[in-house]
């Protein structure tokens, strides 16, 4: 059996309820995506940033299907969760259309 790393797509939930959908092709426990720090910081006061907890949830994983595109699935889930809508989440691609 081929030794392959599990590819995952995760949902980060911030204290304000907004979300970020990201992918990790190495399934690292410490990777939290590449959401814009400046964008997130605008939603929290300095005091709120003193103690800050987020939740990371694996919402999709792929170990056995090399024909499934993780990039395609990530976009599909961003649209499904509407995390590219600035009122819901921090994803900026694909661009949100009202």
Separation of alpha carbons 22 and 66, rounded Å = 19
Both structure tokens of 70: 């993780």
| DSSP of 25-85 | SS--TT------HHHHHTTS-TTGGGS---EEEEEEEESS-TTS-HHHHHHHHHHHHTTTS
17-52 pLDDT per residue, tens? 999 999 998 888 999 999 999 999 999 999 999 999
Count the neighbouring beta carbons within 10 Å of the beta carbon of residue 21.
Answer: 26
Confidence (pTM): 0.89
Q: Where are the domains of the chain?
A: 7-81
Q: What is the pLDDT of residues 4-23, one digit of tens each?
A: 678 999 999 999 999 999 99
> What's the chain's length in residues?
98
């Amino acid at each position: 059996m081929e030794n392959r790393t599990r590819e995952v797509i995760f949902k980060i939930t911030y204290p304000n309820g907004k979300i970020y959908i990201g992918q990790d092709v190495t399934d690292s426990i410490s990777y939290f995506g590449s959401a814009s720090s400046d964008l997130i910081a605008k939603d929290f006061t300095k005091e709120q940033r003193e103690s800050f907890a987020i939740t990371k949830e694996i919402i999709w994983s792929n170990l056995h299907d090399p024909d499934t595109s993780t990039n395609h699935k990530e976009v599909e889930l961003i649209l499904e969760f509407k995390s590219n809508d600035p009122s819901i989440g921090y994803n900026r691609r694909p661009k949100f259309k009202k």
